[in-house]
Structure 1
């Protein structure tokens, strides 16, 4: 078939298709789905990205049914439940994060699948100042002490997160066990994946860091105030 004849045949098919309202629906659904794919290229967070994928799958399913296009229909009928399952999974994690914001004990519930358990003995050093920061910790039971600050870490508290964000990636203090117990820990790679996948988790960690830094500022202010109240030594 010559090129002019081929073009004429395609033009005739397009004219026939546009005369059918159902084909307008199919083309509109496919066009909207294509636009959503382009938009998803600019989205950086997982949950909105998955919802865009669900909407795009739906548009291509409509196109595949009405046009019809069986391969496109089969592909997106396969992808749609996968994307819906991923959305549901991320929303479950988000709800757990929100509950954790109200109760610190909830943290171990939604982080437990990603964490490793470790028993600690009294006097044992968990990590030392200037050690590489490779894990985040959650104290399940027992008591710990930040040696340099004299701060006691109680059961139900998360710690060790500040060093993950420090430029040098080093521990800012030595943590020693005061009472035997158990800690859960998560490695840096998994921790950063959770931050990327769920912004709500990142907000919870930022809130935790802000609380720890505020405590450090209050202790420093109290120390400065106490020193300012000490009378100077008498002059000879």
Structure 2
């Protein structure tokens, strides 16, 4: 599993290739999707289990590195806000 309920949300995940399923909601995430950003920004542990469905490649960005990146390149924050907004609009909620 990528993460489970109660695991610390200390990084943001970018799914480069493959698929990740959120078990509690049966939601499937595909390439170029972000995982864990809502838990990361809320400073709470993960509420769901994320499991790779097949061989998958993911990039992990630690909270400290993400905060430094946002400080140096504020456009990154806008991209994250877009991602969260799209999830709210489509009702897919928090991964």
TM-score by length of 2: 0.86
Residue of structure 2 in register with 1:154 after alignment: 30
The structure in which a higher percent of residues are strand is 2
Cα distance between partner residues in 2 of 1:174 and 1:186? 19
Deviations 1:200-226 (A, max 9, x none): 1111111111112223368xxxxxxxx
Q: Tell me the CA shift for residue 130 of structure 1.
A: 2.2
Q: After TM superposition, what 4+ stretches of structure 1 lie above 6 angstroms from structure 2?
A: none
Residue of structure 2 in register with 1:165 after alignment: 41
Relative CO higher for 1 or 2, CA cutoff 8 Å, sep ≥ 6?
2
**Out of 7, 12, 16, which is 1:140 matched to?**
16
CA RMSD of aligned residues (A): 1.7
Residue of structure 2 in register with 1:118 after alignment: none
Q: Tell me the CA shift for residue 194 of structure 1.
A: 1.0
Say yes or no: does 1:211 pair with 2:90.
no
Cα distance between partner residues in 2 of 1:182 and 1:140? 5
Residue of structure 2 in register with 1:184 after alignment: 59
The structure with more radius of gyration: 1
Q: Tell me the CA shift for residue 141 of structure 1.
A: 1.3
TM-score by length of 1: 0.37
The structure in which a higher percent of residues are helix is 1
Cα distance between partner residues in 1 of 2:14 and 2:40? 15
Alignment of 1:22-171 (within 5 A): 125-166=1-42, 168-171=43-46
Unaligned runs of 5+ in 1: 1-124, 219-236
Q: How many pairs are equivalent?
A: 93
